[in-house]
Amino acid sequence: QQQVKQSPQSLIVQKGGISIINCAYENTAFDYFPWYQQFPGKGPALLIAIRPDVSEKKEGRFTISFNKSAKQFSLHIMDSQPGDSATYFCAARNQAGTALIFGKGTTLSVSS
């Protein structure tokens, strides 16, 4: 019940295209769902986050879609750029609010 499953493992998108990364969870007690971006040699950095009472959140080119009944959420990157090439992690916060449970990550490569 503590798992967050993320797909695909890797993704290649052309410049200007849409990148879509999907995540699914089991524990309905999770109450906060962030996405983190990690570049090589750096720590993860918060990209965008959503709470389960909202179905969509958009910040610039990044959008989270959240389906509470299906226990799924996804990250959409519009107009993907080479600078977006990084590893993306979805996560869910535990009920106690003390920990994030991360997916295994998606390595995105945007070709120019």
- Mapped onto helix, strand or coil, the DSSP state of residue 111 is strand
Contacts of 10 (CB under 8 A, 6+ apart): 106, 107, 108, 109
State yes or no: residue 41 binds another protein (CB under 8 A).
yes
Give the Cα separation of 84 and 89 in Å (integer). 13
- Interaction with another protein in 48-87: which residues (CB under 8 A)? 49
Cβ-in-10-Å burial (0-12, 13-18, 19+) of 101 comes to middle
Binding residue (CB under 8 A) for another protein from 21, 30, 44, 85: 44
State yes or no: residue 103 binds another protein (CB under 8 A).
yes
Binding residue (CB under 8 A) for another protein from 56, 59, 104, 111: 104
- Could you tell me the smallest distance in angstroms from the CB atom of residue 49 to another protein? 8
Can you read off the two tokens belonging to residue 94? 């535990």
- Could you tell me the smallest distance in angstroms from the CB atom of residue 45 to another protein? 7
State yes or no: residue 31 binds another protein (CB under 8 A).
yes
Contact 110, 14 (CB under 8 A): yes
State yes or no: residue 46 binds another protein (CB under 8 A).
yes
Residues that bind another protein (CB under 8 A): 6, 31-32, 34, 36, 41-46, 49, 89, 91, 94, 96-105
